[in-house]
Amino acid sequence: MNEAHLHMVVNHFPIIGLFFGIGILSFGILKKQTILINTAYVMFIICMIMAKATMMTGEGAEEIVEELGISHDIIHIHEEIAETFMKVLYGLGILAILGLIVNFKKQAKAAIVSYIVLILAIGAAVLSKNVGTSGGEIRHTEIRENTSNSSTPDANYQEESHNENH
């Protein structure tokens, strides 16, 4: 397994985990079930950890796909979006840890924390669409906008960049 493969394996969990965590947290808030809220918090912490693992494998994956003829520009766009996503996940993970603490201490502010975590998690999920799509576009030319019948895997993106610059 090379770093590109490892990157593809670990990059799905932060995105999918977010959606499961949002569902569990929403249900936990609705039913006032601390165990479900705490489960969601743990999922968000795991999402943060897996996103860090994804970032750590990204550089190696970049080197491999650039050797396949993929433009550095399209990879850079994905990298920028992923860095923003990671910052949001760091915030979400830290808030989830805080949420666990206030729940274990049974503090009155626990409900407010859960709503803040939910809002941040929804924001992260919106960003996850952009990071996932930009990553998929690196090798899946069929999902890029303005797809044409090109012979090279990166010709569509290079053509788009050229058109945007003129």
* Token pair recorded at residue 39: 């489960």
pLDDT bucket at 152, cuts 50 / 70 / 90: very low
d(CA 159, CA 146): 9
pLDDT digits (tens, 9 = 90+) for 109-144: 999 999 999 999 999 999 999 998 888 888 777 767
pTM above 0.95, yes or no: no
pLDDT digits (tens, 9 = 90+) for 64-115: 888 888 888 888 899 999 999 999 999 999 999 999 999 999 999 999 999 9
Looking at beta carbons, which pairs linking 71-74 to residues 24 or more positions away fall under 8 Å? 71/154, 71/157, 71/158, 71/161, 73/157, 73/158, 73/161, 74/134, 74/137, 74/138, 74/154, 74/157
* Token pair recorded at residue 64: 């491999």
